[in-house]
Amino acid sequence: MNPKLLDEINEKMKAVLAQGPAADIEKNLRALLAGVFSRLDLVTREEFDVQREVLLRTRAKLAELEKKLAALEADTTRTPR
């Protein structure tokens, strides 16, 4: 068979399905799934990535502060009172 013919048949089938009840079923299913997912307290990938970046920056800042604290503690133990 000719691949071009298969592509043409595929495109025509997509057009027929888009105009038929399959499109309505897909829309209804998407709406149903969106409702279920919203009740599960899920987050979007974008929200997840933003929070991941915040966490990474927070960890880096914490590590920096721990180093500064250790340096300050070392200075106070070396300096006689």
Say which residues have a Cβ less than 8 Å from residue 25's Cβ, sequence separation at least 6: none
For the CA atoms of 4, 5, 11, 12, what is the dihedral angle to 10 degrees? 160
Instruction: Decide if 23 contacts 17 (C-beta within 8 A).
Output: yes
The pLDDT of residue 81 is 58
- Alpha-carbon distance of 81 to 17, in angstroms, equals 85
Task: For residues 4-9, give the mean pLDDT.
Answer: 80
Summarize pLDDT for 12-48 with one digit per residue, the tens: 877 777 777 776 777 788 888 888 877 777 788 999 9
Proportion of the chain above pLDDT 70, given as a percent: 91
